[in-house]
Chains A and B, each alone.
Chain A
Amino acid sequence: MADPAVMISKAEILKMLAELMKDATVFAPASNGKKLDYMPVRNVEDIVFGDDIPYKSPKEIFFPRTEKIITFKDGDAEAEISTEKYVLFGARPCDLEALDIMRKVFTEGRFKDPFFEERYNNTLIIGVGCVDKKPGCFCDERETDMGYSDKCDLFLGAQGAEDYFQALHLSEKGRETLGRYIDGLRTFQNTGHEFKPAHTLSIDATEEELFDKIDWESLVETCQGCGMCTYICPTCHCFGFKDVDEGGCASRYRNWDSCMFPKFTLHASGHNPREERHERYRQRFAHKYLYVKKNFGAVACTGCGRCVRACPAGVNIKAIAEKIGEDLQ
């Protein structure tokens, strides 16, 4: 049996991924031509190692931007659940923690989502630790340890001398994979990893207080409502349905939605409970810091900093959370 803590070299990792590619789609950090992204890779040489973080989260592997879920024909409804095998390589601790929140939302609530669940169960998740904080990152303030997360099957710690990584297997799937593809495992003494979170950024308030005591309009006056923050966020998961007529049968598609869009909660009557942009931002913030915490026990912001880096208008969720904390005192 493989020891839980072993050293493996970069060459061995690449060899393992090349083997895994034979019967699974491997998603790993690679260039999309301009940016680093979690891309389906067919050649291990395309995988980008290093400390840069992909510009968007890997959530769409489990929860695609667009997905045909049901086909209706002749009175029957047939769900199209993916059974494809995936490998996600190089997910950062912020993404792993976020993915675990997504897993809770999609599989532990009142409603189970078989589309997400199947993909999640069919995916081998290999995490990689971060070495440095990037501009905009605030993982330590959101209780995310940039050096380690156990929300995966295999975790590779920081790259050591001679291109060796400390590998920890955290599930049966991970253990089995290591045993199958790596010969002559070198164990190391896992002394554990110490993580002291910085001051924790959280909101200790009721929904009423957030609605009544915070001047949202001036907090997010520069927001353009582009919704990019929600698209690249590792935990944003709102979606909408669209039914279409496709060659004699009806198909139901599920597409991402964004609370930053004016049509997000537009009622058929024409009434919109969140008419203004700042009301929509309030929804985004409260969903992350209040509602998911209440329903699933974890704040749905892991401090990955993507929205902070990407926002064309400089809207900074960390600064906003801090300002709200001050205003509520």
Chain B
Amino acid sequence: MIYEEMTNNIRSVCEKLLNSNDVEVIVAYRGGGVEGMQIPYFAKTPEDVQNIEWGDRCYQNIAPYVHGLSKKVGILAKPCDARILTQYITEQQIKRDDVYIIGVDCVGMVDENGDPRPGCPDCMVRKPPIYDEYIKDDRVDSLDLSPPASEDGGLEANFERFRKEIDKCIMCYACRQACYGCYCKTCFIDRDLPDWQPAEIDAGTKMTFHMGRTMHLAGRCVECGACEASCESGVNVRYIIKEVTKFIEDEYGYSAGMDPEQVPALLVNKFDDREVGFLGGETHG
């Protein structure tokens, strides 16, 4: 019921927007794919707007579609998508004026089996941090937003868990492609010089890839859960990225995708940096 009402509000905003010719396309969702799912959709004409849907199956992050689009776009942004857009702005990948953001509150998404989408139960950002138009969902006000417990089990247990996770990995790179932050033109793992990927796809190769990706996301992860959600093999490396995110928050006071004016932690050069993240750097306490 509430989603129907929100869908109607979203449609009327989108219709106005497309009629005004302020944007060429609106990135949103429609019903489709497997029955009952809501999948990414590009609405290009005012008539297309009737296909747009909003609900608890708008599982996919659609903000990455904006990256690299060379036209003015409107986008339906749930909080994690809005954080992605914010992060793109701070990383100078898009210009704030080129996107019209229809921000929408989110109580969390579920997958085709009705299970919560990875990341959603732990989410602490239920309202979009930036928007041009705002669609409210009153239910978010009563959600518990306390930080999730750390999953750090000590070095040995962590490694064992990681080994079990990457055992399932089939190196299809769906996590990388689904990740907003993996926008390098050529991923390090695809590089030939130096050749990061050994010939045999063993645990070492998988570790190189997943650890490399984790480090590249230091202080950039918005915890949308797309890496785990997109993984058909059920691999979760998100818990490691989460620890890195927590480290950056504790150490540098920076949370990715919350403020378009803030400079990302990794883009700041401070001569008095204790460099705690590096071997040999000053340690905690």
Q: Show the binding face of A for B, using Cβ within 8 Å.
A: 32-35, 37, 55-56, 65-66, 68, 135-136, 218, 221-222, 224-228, 230-232, 242-244, 251, 253, 255, 258, 261-263, 308-316, 319
Return the contact of B174 from the options A35, A66, A221, A312 (Cβ within 8 A): A312
Instruction: Tell me the smallest distance from the CB of A258 to a CB of chain B, in Å.
Output: 7
The stretch that binds A, out of B15-23, B29-37, B96-104, B122-130, is B29-37
Contact A224 B170 (CB under 8 A): no
The answer, yes or no, to whether B221 is at the interface (CB within 8 Å) is no
Residues of A within 8 A of B64 (CB): 224
Return the contact of A314 from the options B37, B168, B226, B233 (Cβ within 8 A): B37
The answer, yes or no, to whether B171 is at the interface (CB within 8 Å) is yes
Contact B173 A227 (CB under 8 A): yes
- Given A227-B177, A312-B230, CB of A263 within 8 Å of CB of B190: yes
Contact A314 B170 (CB under 8 A): no
Q: Show the binding face of B for A, using Cβ within 8 Å.
A: 32-37, 39-42, 59-60, 64-65, 112, 164, 168, 170-174, 176-178, 190, 198-202, 226, 229-230, 232-234
Interface of B is mostly: loop
Residues of B within 8 A of A244 (CB): 198-199
Contacts A222-B65, A224-B177 supplied; 17 other A-B pairs, CB < 8 Å? A32-B233, A34-B234, A222-B40, A222-B41, A224-B230, A225-B177, A226-B177, A226-B178, A244-B198, A244-B199, A253-B200, A261-B173, A261-B190, A309-B112, A311-B33, A313-B40, A314-B33
Chain A-chain B contacts (Cβ-Cβ < 8 Å), number: 106
Contact B41 A232 (CB under 8 A): no
Residues of B within 8 A of A55 (CB): 232-233
Residues of A within 8 A of B176 (CB): 226
Instruction: Tell me the smallest distance from the CB of A325 to a CB of chain B, in Å.
Output: 18
Interchain CA distance A65-B176 in the complex, whole Å: 19
Contact A33 B39 (CB under 8 A): no
Interchain CA distance A311-B39 in the complex, whole Å: 10
Contact B174 A226 (CB under 8 A): yes
Contact B39 A222 (CB under 8 A): yes
Residues of B within 8 A of A231 (CB): 170, 172, 232
Interchain CA distance A135-B113 in the complex, whole Å: 11
Residues of A within 8 A of B173 (CB): 226-227, 261
Interchain CA distance A223-B34 in the complex, whole Å: 15
Instruction: Tell me the smallest distance from the CB of B76 to a CB of chain A, in Å.
Output: 14
Residues of A within 8 A of B174 (CB): 224, 226-228, 312
| Identity of the chain B residue whose Cβ is nearest the Cβ of A244 in the assembled complex | B199
- Given A66-B201, A253-B199, A316-B32, CB of A227 within 8 Å of CB of B172: yes
